[in-house]
A and B are shown apart, each in its own frame.
Chain A
Amino acid sequence: MIHFVILISRQGKVRLTKWYSPYSQKERTKVIRELSGLILTRAPKLCNFVEWKGYKVVYRRYASLYFCMGIDADDNELEILEIIHHFVEILDRYFGSVCELDLIFNFHKAYYILDEILIAGELQESSKKTVARLIAAQDSLVETAQEQANSISNMIAQATK
């Protein structure tokens, strides 16, 4: 299973973290620190796997951003590598040619999308279309609720005038 997902920039800034195994705050910080030391220093054109403390970390770099997933030693590395790409393609489709800034200012969106792809450290949905549909539905739910709230507050505002 996937134990954690970490998005980290080339400068070592954390852009997203998601933990599917129980790590304490202290352990989370430690994992991030050790892995950034290990992964950010790797030269290009090496393989996408590093062995780390009995786990494997599958990582992939997109422009300035590293997507890392920690998995068990007997998991299928290539499968995880393509889950990363699957995630990136969905982000790309949602934001329209996604870049790091999108993920910084809309980090909560990234969390929503990740939750539609992975649960319990396992792949939930492999169809990009389905994920896109679900996210769009969520967005519209939020918008309608907001519009409603606005109209209600308008009504109240008018009533109290």
Chain B
Amino acid sequence: MALSGMRGLSVFISDVRNCQNKEQERLRIDKELGNIRTRFKNEKGLTPYEKKKYVWKMLYIYMLGYDVDFGHMEAISLISAPKYPEKQVGYIVTSCLLNENHDFLRVVINAVRNDIIGRNETFQCLALTMVGNIGGKEFAESLAPDVQRLLISSSCRPLVRKKAALCLLRLYRKNPDVVNIDGWSDCMSQLLDERDLGVLTSVMSLFVALVSNNNEAYRNCLPKCVKILERLARNQDIPQEYTYYGIPSPWLQVKTTKALQYFPTVEDPNTRRALFEVLQRILMGTDVVKNVNKNNASHAVLFEALALVMHLDAEKEMMSQCVALLGKFIAVREPNIRYLGLENMTRMLLITDVQDIIKRHQTQILTSLKDPDISIRRRALDLLYGMCDVTNAKDIVEELLQYLSTADFAMREELALKAAILAEKFAPDLSWYVDVILQLIDKAGDFVSDDIWYRVVQFVTNNEDLQPYAAAKAREYLDKPALHETMVKVSAYILGEYSHLLARRPGCRPKEIFAIINEKLPKVSKPTVAILLSTYAKIMMHTQPPYPELQEQIWAIFRKYESYIDVEIQQRAVEYFVLSRKGAALVDVLAEMPKFPERQSALLKKAEDAEVDTADQSAIKLRSQQQTSNALVVTDQQHVNGSILGNQLGLVKMPSQKMEASTHNQGLTKENGAVSKVDPEPTPSADLLGDLLGPLAMEGPPAAPVSGEKNMISALEATPDAAGALALATVGDQSNSVQPIVNIAERFHALCLQDSGVLYEDPYIQIGIKAEWRAHHGHLVLFLGNKNTSPLLSVRALILPPSHLKMELSLVPETIPPRAQVQCLLEVVNLRASRDVAVLDFLYKFGTAVVSVKLQLPAVLNKFLRPISVSAEEFFPQWNSLSGPPLKLQEVVRGVKPMSLLEMANLFASLHLGVIPGLDTNPNNLVSCTGFYSEGTRAMLCLIRVETDPSDRTQLRITIASGDPTLTFELKEFIKEHLVNIPMSTHAPAPAPAPAPAPAAVPLQPQSPITPAGYTDPGVMLAGLL
């Protein structure tokens, strides 16, 4: 063989192959790379042969997946070599190693052009091939005219011209202006007369691209295309070598048929007749044969012909012939044909006339839903979703429901969502819709997103006729053993609102309803407990005058949860308890929910967003364009702006005098939230809120986790564990019974002060973090460790970044193998100062348990600080120049966690605020200096002074200065958060350790400026400036 000369290359390849493991291979490769590098460095001594050999080795190493970050120039330089063997290697290796955006390619444009316009045919071919494969915009601009000339030149041989055609196609894709539209259509028309089928195939690809952009300009070429099809279909004048398993170039047939689909119609009657004759011949003349390749090739042509028939909107007869064919295809054994049959049937749904004919194949399509191949199942689901309407919704949805229990996990969520949407859109009656959704929850609760059950609640609330039915159904489900938690939620909610409508039925007295719901209480997670408490309150409200016995039972539960660790639950318990003692006023406060404003189904939106479907005419897209023909009565009202929801949906009639009853400001919003919220999720992420607000406007005002700067202090004072808000934000949304085995808030706080450690841990998984911070960039590695002997599935990690951080998470594998740890990179860029916190929304499945947690990420303000040590000479001019608000802010902070100056200095150091000892002569004061890095501000100097009062360690005065008002403010609040509150409720303000010697030794001094002693004393100067 011709490559006999490359002995060194073969030896190297066998060496690599003989390596026993990855490590050995790595060593061998590194050795070779080192060798190549030294040889290239001393280029003079290299023969062309050696150069070639090394370049091939580089390509081989690159192909194995190793980084090759040198030697590109050597490969490129071979392009300019005078001899064919070197040139060939240069061109091929360059086009494999580099992509079109590589800077080095510019260097060779001239050499490439010389080859293209030169006389050497073989050089022309090499150059055209490389440009056709990796040519970019610059190539397009400088080479297109030359390439065009070759394509239409009569003196060039076919082997050059076919390459020129595809090369021009590439350049045209990079820059459509390079093909001159005027006059070019005539050229194209002539090119389509080409006799050489190789050239014609390439030209046809170019033509498809041109005509897809502007069919008008190439109208004159249409008859030519039909001629070509006729010639091929009749097998006239086709050289033997251009038939493939007896079929005249199937590729050219497919391309020509595709080109014709870009013309809106075929007007000329003769051409149209000729075309339909050909199409008819293809439709009728294609049989399933034994030879796979022949089969594939003939069906490639057939499916393209089908697409053209659909496009041309042929007469009904031909259309139904097409549907019949597709109907045959979806039942054949050959899986490729089945797949394509389903896919094309979905495309066919666009044509109104044939929908009824497609419906005849419904049974077969439903069978495909159980095909062993997921590709085929996906197509079947998509087709069913697309073909569903009022007439067949019942059958299809019920079939989907049945399939749900056996479907593979990868498809269940999509399946559940689609079933829910179809049920909503095409429900023949409302009670059926309720049945479907409840069944859905019952069968696949884990895969039913909250949106789905919110939506059913919304419909029930808005349709009075439906309420008794829904309540009765919910009651039935409660009798079932082993109920999914989502079912408990939805049943409890519906029964809370509407169980009084059932009062006369057996087993539906308030007492009984309460008893059966209360059975579930011990087994459910926190968010559900919160819903159950609301249900109890509602039951009490509906039983007026109260049954003393029932009242006592419920009160006992409220009292039990009065001191519960979860604040949301605690608050509900406390407030419901107090409210329920208000007698008749209770009815006013806890009145039934008003109707929800109607809006676009969040489910449909979700389906569109989650669109991962690859079929170009996916049924989801069709669906979203269609008018709903649903039975569900929806009154179309104005879209409600999420931000004012809290007020608009005064879910509870709250008499104004109640306002005073609630303790204080912060409490009011909280209470409002508690009474009204069904699913409490004070999540810090706007995105999440938006999502939840979409389907059901049941939320109270966003619980403003880090909101009011003004009431920050008061809140902190009022609720000793304001950290509760934080804890809630992290675990509040969990619908799982798996509980973390570390204190999440504590871990978060610890990681704010250090760069590596455990962020989260539960019985199944441990999430660790390791961070590196450089200026405004952060480089975090998340370690996801599976602690079990079975895999964690459906792992999903989403980053919800606050607006001031740009965050990018590398791919998280869907499955974490047993006992394995995977690392995910998270890149962070800080845009500006803010105390908002990024959240990691993390989900995985273990067995049947779905665990979802929202974890705050320690990419906080202080990570972008770097301590700076400055001298007095540098400090004071800066301090002086930043005078007064908003650049310099001062505040007296009370309620400080008592700590010695030393401890405070340590705390500051861990916050990256460099304390500069001795700058302030008053030993009770701290001065520190740090640089803040963000993309907006770059490095920004921040100066801080803290004055403490040795007689009262719980208060201090803090002054902060920087060149950016936002930064000054945010930094001040940030430091305050750390001074005032240690966000751990467990053993928070540890009893003040024995006062450190430093403050004790100093005589008590007021913190006001000391009498000016001498201006050489920096401390005095500082005091004077304050």
Q: B1: which A residues are within 8 A, CB to CB?
A: 106
Contact of B197 among A16, A23, A127, A149 (CB under 8 A): A127
Contact of B340 among A22, A23, A77 (CB under 8 A): A77
Contact of A127 among B67, B101, B242 (CB under 8 A): B242
Q: A125: which B residues are within 8 A, CB to CB?
A: 162, 198, 201
Q: A98: which B residues are within 8 A, CB to CB?
A: none
Q: With an 8 A cutoff between CB atoms, is B99 at the interface? A: yes
Decide: A143 and B297 in contact? CB cutoff 8 A. no
Decide: A128 and B241 in contact? CB cutoff 8 A. yes
Decide: A73 and B64 in contact? CB cutoff 8 A. no
Interface of B is mostly: helix
Among the 9-residue stretches B164-172, B459-467, B676-684, the one with 4 or more Cβ atoms under 8 Å from chain A is: B164-172
Which chain B residue has the least Cβ–Cβ distance from A42? B373
Contact of B336 among A25, A78, A104 (CB under 8 A): A78
Decide: B250 and A82 in contact? CB cutoff 8 A. yes
Q: With an 8 A cutoff between CB atoms, is B184 at the interface? A: no
Q: B304: which A residues are within 8 A, CB to CB?
A: 76, 79
- Complex Cα spacing A108 to B89, Å: 9
Decide: B92 and A111 in contact? CB cutoff 8 A. yes
The range of chain A's interface size is 35 or more
Decide: B198 and A124 in contact? CB cutoff 8 A. yes
Q: With an 8 A cutoff between CB atoms, is A126 at the interface? A: yes
Q: With an 8 A cutoff between CB atoms, is A139 at the interface? A: yes
Q: A32: which B residues are within 8 A, CB to CB?
A: 65
Q: B85: which A residues are within 8 A, CB to CB?
A: 141-142, 145-146
B88 nearest CB across to chain A (Å)? 7
A105-B10 CB under 8 A given contacts A82-B297, A119-B166, A122-B166:
yes
Decide: B254 and A79 in contact? CB cutoff 8 A. yes
Q: Which residues, 24 to 69 on A, are CB-close (under 8 Å) to B?
A: 24-25, 29-30, 32, 43, 45-56
A133 nearest CB across to chain B (Å)? 9
- Complex Cα spacing A142 to B84, Å: 7
Q: With an 8 A cutoff between CB atoms, is A109 at the interface? A: yes
Which chain A residue has the least Cβ–Cβ distance from B208? A122
Q: With an 8 A cutoff between CB atoms, is B3 at the interface? A: yes
Contact of A22 among B17, B100, B122, B615 (CB under 8 A): B100
Decide: B96 and A111 in contact? CB cutoff 8 A. yes
Q: With an 8 A cutoff between CB atoms, is B299 at the interface? A: yes
A139-B205 CB under 8 A given contacts A43-B372, A49-B339:
no
Contact of A119 among B2, B49, B129, B612 (CB under 8 A): B129
Decide: B296 and A81 in contact? CB cutoff 8 A. yes
Q: A19: which B residues are within 8 A, CB to CB?
A: 99
Decide: B3 and A14 in contact? CB cutoff 8 A. no
A124-B163 CB under 8 A given contacts A47-B339, A76-B303, A109-B3:
yes
Interface size of B in residues (CB-CB distance below 8 Å): 80
B143 nearest CB across to chain A (Å)? 14
A119-B84 CB under 8 A given contacts A73-B616, A124-B166:
no
B229 nearest CB across to chain A (Å)? 15
A123-B201 CB under 8 A given contacts A76-B258, A77-B340, A134-B159:
yes
Decide: A18 and B96 in contact? CB cutoff 8 A. yes
Decide: A145 and B83 in contact? CB cutoff 8 A. yes
Bitwise, B366-405 to A at CB < 8 A (1) or not (0) is 0000001101101000000000000000000000000000
Q: A14: which B residues are within 8 A, CB to CB?
A: 63-65
Q: With an 8 A cutoff between CB atoms, is B5 at the interface? A: yes
A3 nearest CB across to chain B (Å)? 12
Decide: A120 and B251 in contact? CB cutoff 8 A. no
Q: B974: which A residues are within 8 A, CB to CB?
A: none
- Complex Cα spacing A127 to B248, Å: 11
Which chain A residue has the least Cβ–Cβ distance from B334? A47
Decide: A122 and B205 in contact? CB cutoff 8 A. yes
Decide: A126 and B340 in contact? CB cutoff 8 A. no
Decide: A122 and B169 in contact? CB cutoff 8 A. yes
Q: With an 8 A cutoff between CB atoms, is A92 at the interface? A: no
Which chain A residue has the least Cβ–Cβ distance from B615? A73
Decide: A146 and B129 in contact? CB cutoff 8 A. no
Decide: B303 and A105 in contact? CB cutoff 8 A. no
Decide: A119 and B133 in contact? CB cutoff 8 A. yes
Q: With an 8 A cutoff between CB atoms, is B811 at the interface? A: yes
Bitwise, A120-160 to B at CB < 8 A (1) or not (0) is 10111111111000100111011101100100000000000
- Complex Cα spacing A125 to B197, Å: 8
Decide: A120 and B201 in contact? CB cutoff 8 A. no
Q: A145: which B residues are within 8 A, CB to CB?
A: 83-85
- Complex Cα spacing A74 to B136, Å: 24
Contact of A54 among B63, B163, B297, B612 (CB under 8 A): B612
Which chain A residue has the least Cβ–Cβ distance from B202? A124
Decide: B616 and A126 in contact? CB cutoff 8 A. no
Bitwise, A83-126 to B at CB < 8 A (1) or not (0) is 10110000000000000000011111101100100011011111
Decide: B88 and A142 in contact? CB cutoff 8 A. yes
Decide: A112 and B92 in contact? CB cutoff 8 A. yes
Decide: A47 and B166 in contact? CB cutoff 8 A. no
A78-B169 CB under 8 A given contacts A54-B612, A108-B3, A125-B201:
no
Decide: B83 and A126 in contact? CB cutoff 8 A. no
Q: With an 8 A cutoff between CB atoms, is B300 at the interface? A: yes
Bitwise, B1-39 to A at CB < 8 A (1) or not (0) is 111010000100110010000000000000000000000
User: Which one of B10, B99, B615 has the highest number of Cβ atoms from chain A below 10 Å of its Cβ?
Assistant: B99
- Complex Cα spacing A43 to B249, Å: 31
Q: Which residues, 151 to 186 on B, are CB-close (under 8 Å) to A?
A: 159, 162-163, 166-167, 169-170, 173
Q: With an 8 A cutoff between CB atoms, is B409 at the interface? A: no
Contact of A123 among B10, B205, B338, B614 (CB under 8 A): B205
Decide: B197 and A51 in contact? CB cutoff 8 A. no
Q: A81: which B residues are within 8 A, CB to CB?
A: 296, 300, 336
Q: Which residues, 456 to 498 on B, are CB-close (under 8 Å) to A?
A: none
Decide: A105 and B13 in contact? CB cutoff 8 A. yes
Q: Which residues, 42 to 68 on B, are CB-close (under 8 Å) to A?
A: 48-49, 56, 59-60, 63-65, 67
Q: With an 8 A cutoff between CB atoms, is B432 at the interface? A: no
Q: With an 8 A cutoff between CB atoms, is B335 at the interface? A: yes
- Complex Cα spacing A89 to B551, Å: 83
Decide: A82 and B244 in contact? CB cutoff 8 A. yes
Q: With an 8 A cutoff between CB atoms, is B788 at the interface? A: no
User: Which one of A20, A82, A86, A138 has the highest number of Cβ atoms from chain B below 10 Å of its Cβ?
Assistant: A82
Contact of B242 among A53, A83, A85, A126 (CB under 8 A): A126
- Complex Cα spacing A138 to B3, Å: 12
Q: A17: which B residues are within 8 A, CB to CB?
A: 63, 96
Contact of A124 among B88, B162, B336, B615 (CB under 8 A): B162
Which chain A residue has the least Cβ–Cβ distance from B613? A51
- Complex Cα spacing A122 to B293, Å: 19
Contact of B92 among A29, A115, A119 (CB under 8 A): A115
A100 nearest CB across to chain B (Å)? 11
Which chain B residue has the least Cβ–Cβ distance from A133? B159
Q: With an 8 A cutoff between CB atoms, is B252 at the interface? A: yes
Q: With an 8 A cutoff between CB atoms, is B132 at the interface? A: yes
Q: A29: which B residues are within 8 A, CB to CB?
A: 65
Decide: B198 and A127 in contact? CB cutoff 8 A. yes
Decide: B616 and A45 in contact? CB cutoff 8 A. no
- Complex Cα spacing A115 to B836, Å: 54
- Complex Cα spacing A41 to B459, Å: 44
Decide: B811 and A30 in contact? CB cutoff 8 A. yes
Which chain B residue has the least Cβ–Cβ distance from A108? B56
Q: A142: which B residues are within 8 A, CB to CB?
A: 2, 84-85, 88
Decide: A120 and B132 in contact? CB cutoff 8 A. yes
Q: A15: which B residues are within 8 A, CB to CB?
A: 63
A interface with B by C-beta (< 8 Å):
13-20, 22-25, 29-30, 32, 43, 45-56, 73-74, 76-79, 81-83, 85-86, 104-109, 111-112, 115, 119-120, 122-130, 134, 137-139, 141-143, 145-146, 149
User: What are the 5 tightest A-B residue pairs by CB atom distance, in nearest-first order?
Assistant: A78-B300, A47-B335, A119-B166, A119-B132, A74-B616
Report 8 cross-chain contacts, Cβ distance below 8 Å, ordered by A residue.
Answer: A77-B336, A81-B336, A86-B244, A106-B1, A108-B92, A115-B129, A119-B128, A137-B122
What 7 new A-B contacts, CB under 8 Å, besides A51-B375, A126-B252?
A: A13-B64, A46-B373, A78-B340, A107-B59, A120-B173, A125-B162, A129-B241
